[in-house]
Amino acid sequence: MDSSTVRRLLRRVHPIALLSGVLLVALIMMNAATQNSDRFGNLYSILLLINLIGIVLLLVLIGTNIYKLAAQYREGAVGSRLTLRLFTMTVVIAIVPVLVVFFFSLQAINRGIDSWFDVRVEKALDDALLLGRTSLDAIKQDLVSKTNDMAAELSGTSTRLAAPTLNLLREQYTLGEISLFDQDGLVIASSSQEGLGADTLLPDSPGEAIRSQIRRGLSYANLDPVAGGELQLRIVVPVYGREVGTADRILQVLQPLPTRYANLGESVQSAFAEYEKLVYLRGPLKFGFTLTLSLVALITILIALWASIFSARRLVRPIRDLAQGTAAVAEGDYRKRLHVPSNDELGVLVKSFNEMTERIHSAQTEIKRGQREAEVQRTYLETVLTHLSSGVLSFDTRGNLRTYNTVANDILGIDLEPGVGDRLSWIANTDPRLTAFEEVLREHMENGSPEWQSEVVLQDGANRTVLMLRGTRLPGLRGRRGGYVLVFDDVTTMIQAQRDAAWSEVARRLAHEIKNPLTPIQLSAERIRSKCMDSLQDKERETLDRSTRTIVDQVEALKSMVNAFSNYARPPQLQSAPVNLNTLIRDVADMYRGKSGKKLPIDLELDDALPDIKADSGRLRQVLHNLITNSKDALADSESPEIKISTRLVGKGEHPYLEFAIEDNGPGFPQAMMDRLFEPYATDKEKGSGLGLAIVKKIVEEHSGSLSADNTGNGARVVIRLPLTEVSAAPEQHREKRA
């Protein structure tokens, strides 16, 4: 136990120990006062008051502690139940023996006091006292008788012969002293043994009371004390003269009792007096001893109660601290440290708790550091995944989606957040066009392929998306199969670029190979016609004219095709400038409305608030020509042809764009061509080159735009979106400019 613990213990125990010491001293003095009233009898009331005050203080202290303990028990304080249990057990263990000892001690005291007043003892004392008195009375009566005889002998003796006669009588009766006095107490004659009355010259004269009694004719006999603690018998009788009935003198006899008689008489007298005193104090003695014993028992019980409360709390305090510390640890406070109360088992337990919390705190610190590092790694991984151009999905061993990145949402065109934790089938159920995607994943995951790569085509009407999938199985714990990580890319643009590059090369080579012989052929046909036309007959001239015209027309057609090839294969050389799309559409539409022949109805739904864009107006004009021409050709056999061109501004944020669409009520696009609609030479026309939509797509992509085509049910529709890279001022300014 360290010095601080000792100091705390002394501070708590010191007042009670001091009070207990004072009460103990007071009880000892009360007990002494009960046994010997001469010593502490005058302090008995003060000692009793001190004990009563101490008892009241102990009661207040114990009551306060019990009240606090009860309040803590009602509140459910930690350790209060165990403290109450230990307190109850200690009280029972301490009080029961004290009460048993108190009961039997009280019985023993009462019986002991009662035994002092046994009837036989009292009778023996009475008999002894009576025996002594009887013996003294016998001696006294014998001496009185002898004195009367001597008085009779002296009645006729003269005063002159009194002294010799007294000597004879003293020696005859073996007396200590014999004296003759007149009625006034004057000494007439006296005789005494040698050594008796040596300290006085005159004999002891009887007093006036004795002489008065003698005058009345009565004798006097009594036991008188003398110096040295001895006793003597004094016998005084009248001495009658010659005249009958007249006592003129007084005879006094002093006879010392033997020392043994005196001692025995004094002892018997003292014992009887003490016994009478005890008989008188019998009730107070019982009350005093009972009160002292009761105070001892009560103070002992109160001190035991306080000691039990103190011991229980001191014993439970480490357990309570442990319970509170455990609760704090359960709530996450791993810095909790408890004071070590001692070096006993509880101290070892508290030390173990502190070591445990220290280790838990260290482990928690390591865990938090690991979590922070893991969070940093996770954030870094999320950042990497977010900025990847590839979509990433991860699945657990049961094929449930665990994580994804935003690029995966963009590529697949769905929100994957609701599907986290669901099976693969959720993807296909969410978007039917992803069925092929889900089937490829399921096949490889069920086969347990460690690494695989596959290409998946997603078809959505005329839109065709090609995905390149690469899957890897993750390592599992204890040799078990882990989950999967899927990385996929949208390679549609790349494949299309490869195809466009290939077709551009083909177109360039075809244009080069075809264009070289066309001019000589055309020139040769025209020269033959000019040279031979005049020398031939009419019929032959007509044949030559028709043949050469056919050659020239076909050469022109081939030149148009070669020009189309050249346009398709030509690298982008945009001449960008601010262009108002609505104005451009109106100009092109007016050209087709004003052509001779059958009038082509074109309905315009243009957004007047459309801003200008930075684009190549000539290339956009070619786009409009190609699309309107396709619609016109599709409506060649229609009785009520309709073409609608609309524009609108889409998006108000960071990436706004212009959208214009061309719709017709023709037969629509052939379903078999939807997946290769914008590829070169894809056409269902007998005289078409199949480059119209391919050139449109090329021009739109040169402007960083996008296009799509689909069938509306009433015809075909082509939608083109161009990014708004340069917005003009206000729509009102556009209207003023057009005005």
For residues 140 and 220, is the Cβ–Cβ distance under 8 A? no
Q: What is the pLDDT of residue 647?
A: 92
For residues 155 and 239, is the Cβ–Cβ distance under 8 A? yes
Q: What is the pLDDT of residue 161?
A: 82
Q: What is the 3-state secondary structure (H, E, C) of 692-720?
A: HHHHHHHHHHHCCCEEEEEECCCCEEEEE
Side chain identity at 431, as an amino acid letter?
D
505's tokens? 């090369």
Q: What would the mean pLDDT of 189-200 be, rounded to a whole number?
A: 68
Cα–Cα separations (whole angstroms), residue 220 to 185, 197, 240, 402: 14, 21, 16, 138
pLDDT class of 468 with cuts at 50, 70, 90: confident
| pLDDT reading at 700 higher than 80 | yes
Between 213 and 343, where is the model more confident?
213
Cβ burial of 105 (10 Å; 0-12, 13-18, 19+) is middle
d(CA 568, CA 499): 13
Between 671 and 562, where is the model more confident?
671
| pLDDT reading at 374 higher than 60 | yes
Question: Could you report the per-residue pLDDT of 398-434, keeping only the tens digit for each?
Answer: 778 888 888 888 877 788 788 787 777 777 777 777 7
| pLDDT reading at 696 higher than 60 | yes
pLDDT class of 661 with cuts at 50, 70, 90: very high
pTM over the 0.85 mark: no
Q: What would the mean pLDDT of 609-624 be, rounded to a whole number?
A: 86
Q: What would the mean pLDDT of 271-285 be, rounded to a whole number?
A: 63
Q: What would the mean pLDDT of 124-131 be, rounded to a whole number?
A: 66
Q: What is the pLDDT of residue 733?
A: 41
Cα–Cα separations (whole angstroms), residue 158 to 166, 178, 241, 257, 511: 12, 16, 10, 31, 212
pLDDT class of 644 with cuts at 50, 70, 90: very high
Cα angle 678, 648, 626 (rounded to 5 degrees) comes to: 30
| pLDDT reading at 166 higher than 80 | yes
| pLDDT reading at 628 higher than 50 | yes
Q: For 198-202, 531-535, 582-586, which range has the lowest pLDDT when averaged over its residues?
A: 198-202
For residues 564 and 691, is the Cβ–Cβ distance under 8 A? yes
Q: What is the pLDDT of residue 732?
A: 40
Q: How many helices (H) and strands (E) does the chain have?
A: 19, 17
What does 491-531 look like in DSSP terms, one character per residue?
-HHHHHHHHHHHHHHHHHHHHHHHHHHHHHHHHHHHHHHHH
| pLDDT reading at 645 higher than 90 | yes
Question: Could you report the per-residue pLDDT of 86-109, keeping only the tens digit for each?
Answer: 777 877 777 787 788 878 777 777
Between 38 and 440, where is the model more confident?
440
| pLDDT reading at 262 higher than 80 | no
What is the per-residue burial (b if ≥16 Cβ within 10 Å, else e) of 490-515? Answer: bebeeebeeebeebbeebeeebeeeb
Q: Which residues have C-beta within 8 Å of that of residue 179, sequence separation ≥ 6?
A: 166, 187, 189, 190, 191, 203, 251, 252, 254
Between 571 and 593, where is the model more confident?
593
Q: Which residues have C-beta within 8 Å of that of residue 516, sequence separation ≥ 6?
A: none
Q: For 173-187, 529-543, 635-649, 664-678, which range has the lowest pLDDT when averaged over its residues?
A: 529-543
| pLDDT reading at 489 higher than 60 | yes
| pLDDT reading at 706 higher than 80 | yes
Q: What is the pLDDT of residue 736?
A: 39
Cα angle 622, 623, 624 (rounded to 5 degrees) comes to: 90
Between 11 and 270, where is the model more confident?
270
Which of 204, 197, 215, 212 lies closest to 252, judged by CA? 204
How many whole angstroms from its chain centre is CA 205?
108
Q: What is the pLDDT of residue 737?
A: 39
Which of 425, 487, 427, 481 lies closest to 453, judged by CA? 487
Give the number of other CB atoms < 10 A from CB of residue 661.
18
Percentage with pLDDT > 70 across the chain: 72
Strand partners, 458: 465
Q: What is the pLDDT of residue 244?
A: 58
How many whole angstroms from its chain centre is CA 457?
57
| pLDDT reading at 167 higher than 80 | yes
* CA-based radius of gyration for the chain: 73
Q: What is the pLDDT of residue 598?
A: 54
644's tokens? 């609608």
| pLDDT reading at 125 higher than 80 | no
Q: What would the mean pLDDT of 564-571 be, rounded to a whole number?
A: 61
Determine the angle formed by the axes of helices 345-387 and 282-330, rounding to 10 degrees: 20
d(CA 604, CA 591): 14
- State the sign of the Cα–Cα–Cα–Cα dihedral 624, 627, 633, 634: negative
Q: What is the pLDDT of residue 32?
A: 58
pLDDT class of 476 with cuts at 50, 70, 90: low
Q: What is the 3-state secondary structure (H, E, C) of 222-287?
A: EEEECCCCCEEEEEEEEEECCCCCCEEEEEEEEEECCHHHHHHHHHHHHHHHHHHHHHHCHHHHHH
| pLDDT reading at 455 higher than 90 | no
Between 394 and 2, where is the model more confident?
394
Q: What is the pLDDT of residue 568?
A: 61
d(CA 348, CA 356): 12
Q: What is the pLDDT of residue 730?
A: 39
Q: Which position has the token pair 């280790």?
A: 359
Q: What is the pLDDT of residue 16?
A: 59
d(CA 341, CA 480): 52
Q: What is the pLDDT of residue 739?
A: 35
Q: What is the DSSP letter of 610?
A: P
Average pLDDT of every residue of the chain: 75
d(CA 491, CA 593): 42
pLDDT class of 719 with cuts at 50, 70, 90: very high
Between 563 and 696, where is the model more confident?
696
